[in-house]
Amino acid sequence: MNKAIPLTALALAAGVSTNVYAQTSQTTELEPIIVSGGISPVAADEFGRSNTVITRRDIEDSGYATVQQALEAQPGVSINGTGPNDRQIRIRGGEGNHTLVLIDGVRAASGDNEFFLRGLDTSYIQRIEILRGPQSVPYGTDAATGVVNIITREAGEGVGFGASAEFGEGDRQSAYVTRGTESGKLSLSVSNLNDEGYDFSGSGGEKDGTRWKSLNTKGSVDLTARTTAGFSFRFADAKYDFDDTDDYIEYQGFVSSQGADSVDGYVLDDPGKQRNLTERAGRIYLKHRTTDQTISHRLRFDRTANQTDNDFASDTTTEVGQYRYQIALDRKRIESSDQLLSVLLERRVDGDEGEVQDRENDSFGLEYQTWLSDALSVQAGLRYDDNNLFEDATTWNVAGSYFLDNGVRLHASGGRAVVNPSFFEFTGGTDEAYNSDLEAERNLGFDIGFEAPLAGINGSTDITVFRDVLEDEIFSDDLSSAPYDYENRNGDSDRQGAELTLSAHPVEGLDLQASYTYLDATNSEGQRVTRRPRNELGASAEWRLPNAATTLSSDVRYVEGLVGKEFWKDGSPRAELPAFTVVNLAAQHALTEHVDLTARVTNAFDEDYQEVWGFATRGRAAFVGVRTSW
């Protein structure tokens, strides 16, 4: 199979163009986009599993300041929470802990925790990969419905450096430096955020702000012509405010808290509520290839450690040791092989200070990537996990991508994944295995879709339908007081829907993007699942003025059918929140080849809305800044 298949549709879908523009951020070369979608990376158009790649140019042209802004309204992805420091990622209706978040391939959250989006700055981001569907074969547990892999800046040839600063309702600064040679690469990024925030209670009280500092560095060096050593490290510290709630609490037949009279009084302004957070993550690795480049060995060790204080204090760690073996069965170089077999051996240990014993998981995985014909690319994998606390698990996935002569690409995938009970669910908030009979949740998911060029508007479209079935869902009917009883649901929880993307370049200088997700998510009792909108629409436009120095952009997010629990009422009944539409505007102007002025307005029409009952969202906010790149 000739790997240089035209990538026109993919390029349009990713917002990449071969035109040259004056801004410092623009990319002038079109290269295949490679995603970390398996045990071995694969070209995006060959990958049969549904995926989206948000590039550096997408981030800058759209004015995305944080990762959560970039992820909002992406197909199949729902982002919401009680505030900007509590944003959960749900893919295809799964739970927040069913989406695995990686930063440079390393787990962002430690222990068994899910990762909450809290001000992750985009200034040091090279691209963001979104992988939909069960991903347990390459990534293990926690990847039941999808993966978000955040890739930091890569070093190119020579020395590169840049900085940015922005001011408005708070301020942010960032800087980076990179250096690339024939034998090594090194990059370093730092960022600082001081967001004044807003009052989460919506009562006009004290603003709930965020302070965030981070440092990211990664590099590699060729020890010999065939052996490479590398590393990546991330250090982040945050301090953020939040507010209290007035829940209806009944314990052992007695009402200890009547709850608020209405939604307006549910969230209580509390200037004393504050939380400190530290995140530490790192990876070291060693790669070696044979002389003919047909066999590769890689040893890798990852460690992630997160700490929080105050309410829900935690101190967790995750350590992963991994060996990967690759062989090109057709005796070609690994990058160009049409028959690539990969073997994975992995040991993972999750720890939670003060809780039950560490979780130890030993895994063996196989993956095979091949071209069955000049038009059909197939990936298949199998994994076995031996766990010291829970039942051993076998997971699998298979995917295919088929190219028709008219430029249409058909893609389909299926898989099975598992998510073990969390430490909190397992212990019930005690120091022992209070709910020791809990079983792992299991997700079975399938999707099928097609991608087609739209010659009339110089664009492309992709339509995908999916269905996920979650078995043994873990839930609790009473969280009023410890110890908490958790159990597995009888029956299946169904999630099904459709994802649509549309990209167009109708005239010179104008790029249009649109996405739509329909989701029908219910638990085994037929109830609609909370925090998953029924309909979500995203649209964006980027217009480069004829002078080629100015870009104007806007994006719109419409959410309808979002259900939440009214916790201030007896029994916490479910109710649908009002639909809302949020519009963001951004602009950038190239002063010189290396300096851009930037401006953006979030929630430009000052929409008054809620994503979670009782919690206010931010009104209109404006920011101006400068960005340099050399």
Average pLDDT (503-517) is 94
For the chain, the first-to-last Cα distance in angstroms comes to 39
What span, in angstroms and rounded, lies between the C-alpha atoms of 258 and 372? 64
Tokens of 113: 């925790």
C-alpha torsion angle, residues 44, 50, 56, 61 (rounded to 10): 130
In angstroms, the Cα distances linking 13 to 10, 20, 128, 344, 438 are 5, 18, 14, 32, 42
* Among candidate residues 416, 331, 340, 432, the one with its CA nearest the CA of residue 378: 340
Burial group, residue 28, by CB count within 10 angstroms (0-12, 13-18, 19+): exposed
Kind and range of the H or E run holding 484: none
Q: What is the pLDDT of residues 219-264, one digit of tens each?
A: 999 999 999 999 999 999 999 999 999 888 765 556 667 788 889 9
Cβ-count burial 338-361 (b if 16+ within 10 Å, e if not): bebbbebebebbbbbeebbeebeb
- 564: amino acid identity, one letter: G
- Indicate if the pLDDT at residue 18 is higher than 60: no
Q: Does a cis peptide bond (omega within 30 degrees of 0) precede residue 483?
A: yes
pLDDT value for 252: 57
Contact between residue 395 and residue 136 where contact means Cβ atoms under 8 Å apart: yes
- Indicate if the pLDDT at residue 8 is higher than 50: no
pLDDT value for 226: 95
pLDDT value for 222: 96
How much of the chain exceeds pLDDT 90, in percent? 67
Contact between residue 619 and residue 604 where contact means Cβ atoms under 8 Å apart: no
Q: What angle do CA 164, 167, 168 make, to 5 degrees?
A: 150
What span, in angstroms and rounded, lies between the C-alpha atoms of 420 and 391? 9
- DSSP summary character for residue 554: E
Average pLDDT (587-612) is 94
- Indicate if the pLDDT at residue 581 is higher than 50: yes
Q: How many CB atoms lie within 10 A of CB 494?
A: 17
pLDDT value for 311: 65
Q: What is the pLDDT of residues 345-398, one digit of tens each?
A: 999 999 887 667 888 999 999 999 999 999 999 999 999 999 998 889 999 999
- Which of 10-24, 263-277, 432-446, 572-586 shows the lowest per-residue confidence on average (mean pLDDT)? 10-24
- Indicate if the pLDDT at residue 24 is higher than 60: no
Contact between residue 105 and residue 139 where contact means Cβ atoms under 8 Å apart: no
Place domain 8-629 in its CATH homologous superfamily: TonB-dependent receptor, beta-barrel domain (2.40.170.20)
User: What is the Cα 502 distance to its own chain's centre?
Assistant: 21
Q: Which long-range contacts (CB under 8 A, 24 or more apart) does 163-168 make?
A: 163/627, 163/628, 164/123, 164/598, 164/625, 164/626, 164/627, 164/628, 165/625, 165/626, 166/65, 166/598, 166/623, 166/624, 166/625, 167/623, 167/624, 167/625, 168/621, 168/622, 168/623, 168/624
- 253: amino acid identity, one letter: G
Mean pLDDT (the chain) is 88
- Beta strand pairing call for 314-328 and 295-308: antiparallel
Where in the chain are the domains? Answer: 8-629
In angstroms, the Cα distances linking 235 to 149, 217, 257, 284, 306 are 17, 9, 40, 15, 10
- DSSP summary character for residue 248: -
Average pLDDT (488-513) is 93
Contact between residue 157 and residue 186 where contact means Cβ atoms under 8 Å apart: no
The DSSP annotation for 387-410 comes to: ESSS--EEEEEEEEEEE-TTS-EE
Write down the residue that tokens 């760690």 correspond to.
317
pLDDT value for 34: 72
Average pLDDT (320-329) is 97
pLDDT value for 30: 40
What span, in angstroms and rounded, lies between the C-alpha atoms of 408 and 45? 11
